Amino acid sequence: AQPNVVILATGGTIAGAGAEATNSATYQAAKVPVDKLIAGVPELAKVAAVRGEQVFQIASESFTNDHLLTLGKRVSALAKQADVDGIVITHGTDTLEETAYFLNLVVHTDKPIVIVGSMRPGTAMSADGMLNLYNAVAAAAAKDARGKGVLVAMNDELNSGRDVSKMINIQTSAFKSPWGPLGMIVEGRNYWFRLPAKRHTVNSEFDIDKIDSLPLVGIAYGHGNVADTAYKALAASGAKAIIHAGTGNGSVAKNVVPALRELRGQGVQVIRSSHVNAGGFVLRNAEQPDDQYDWVVAHDLNPQKARILASVALTKTSDSKELQRIFWEY
Ligand SMILES: NC(=O)C[C@H](N)C(=O)O
C-alpha cells in the first residue's frame, strides 16, 4: 500500500495568486484552498495517498503563538494515528523557520514532518510551489526521513527545521542553514548527507500535548545609536524574556546595559542573540559578562528562533541556568 501523507495547509505564497504571470513578487498570499493545491500536482498520487486539511489560510507574517499551538496540537494528534505515515505543512515563508523550529521542539514523533512554502505564487512564470510540494510529499512519504526532526523542503534541499532560515526574500534559493542542508531531494528521492546533532522531537523534554499557552517573549533590535526604550516597553507589556537582537557576538550598546541589568533584576530573562546576516554564534561571557549579569546567550539561534525556544523553555522553567542549558542542547 502507498504511504499516507496528510497535507496541513496554512496559507502563504504557495497558496498565493497574482494578476499576471509576470507578477512574481506582487500578489496576494493565502488565496488557494488546499484541495486545489493538491489537484494542481497530480504527480503526488504517484508517491503517496494524499489528503488535505485547511488549518488556516493566512500570510505567515501574522502567525501568532495561538496559531503555533493549534497547528502543533493537530500535527501531534495526526502523528499518533496509525493511518498517517507522514505530515506535510504548507506555510508562508516569512515565519516558516519559526514554525519549523517550534514543531521540532514540541512534537513527539519520529514520523516525517516536512514544511514547505514557495517564493513565487502559483500564477507566476517558473512558480516554485509545485515542485516544492511534490518534493515535500515525497520526502514525508519516505521511511528514510524518519527520526531526523522537522524538515524544510525548498529548492530541492532538505534542511533541518532547527537551523534553516530565510536568507533572501526575492530568490527561490531563499532557505539556507548556516551549517548546510541535511540532504537533497531529486526526482522524488531523498539523498542524505548529515544528521541533526541537537535534541528534537522524540528526544525533546517539551511536549505540545502539555502546552496550552506560551509566555510572551519580545525581541529588541540592537544598533549603534540604540536607546533602552524598546527593551523597557517590552518588559512593561509583560514580556517574560527579551531577546536582544545584538550586533556581532550579541554585543550590547553601553547605553542599553543598565536597563537590561535592571530588567533582569526584576525577573525578566535577558537573552543575547545576534542579527548578523549569515548566522550568529554568540559565546557566553564574550563581549558581556553573562555570569555576572545572569544573562543567557542564544548560541547560534537567530533572534526569531531564540524567541521560539525561550517561549517553549519558559513553560517549564524560569531559572536562567536551566534556560542556558536548554539553549546549548536544542
Ligand atoms: N513567500 C511567502 O510565503 C511570503 C508571505 N508573506 C508569507 O510568508 O506568507
ipTM confidence score = 0.96
> In a structure prediction context, what are the per-residue pLDDT tens digits for the chain, which is 330 residues long?
999 999 999 999 999 999 999 999 999 999 999 999 999 999 999 999 999 999 999 999 999 999 999 999 999 999 999 999 999 999 999 999 999 999 999 999 999 999 999 999 999 999 999 999 999 999 999 999 999 999 999 999 999 999 999 999 999 999 999 999 999 999 999 999 999 999 999 999 999 999 999 999 999 999 999 999 999 999 999 999 999 999 999 999 999 999 999 999 999 999 999 999 999 999 999 999 999 999 999 999 999 999 999 999 999 999 999 999 999 999
Q: What is the DSSP string of 134-194?
A: HHHHHHHH-GGGTTS-SEEEETTEEEETTT-EE--SSSS--EE-TT--SEEEETTEEEE--
Distance 171 CA to ligand 1 centre (A): 12
Residue with the three cell numbers 512564470: 125
Q: Tell me the H-state helices in 180-317.
A: 229-236, 257-265, 290-293, 303-313
Q: Grid coordinates representing 147? A: 527520526
9 three-state secondary structure:
strand
Pocket test for ligand 1, best of 13, 26, 58 (most atoms within 8 A of CB): 13
Distance 97 CA to ligand 1 centre (A): 12
Work out which ligand 1 atom sits closest to the CA atom of 118: 1
Query: What type of residue is 16?
Result: G
Neighbours of 259 (CB within 10 A): 20
Question: How far apart (Å, rounded) are the C-alpha atoms in residues 283 and 249?
Answer: 7
Q: How does pLDDT run across 185-237, given as a tens digit for each residue? A: 999 999 999 999 999 999 999 999 999 999 999 999 999 999 999 999 999 99
- Note if 95 is an active site residue: no
- Residue 265 and residue 257 in contact, taking contact as beta carbons nearer than 8 Å: no
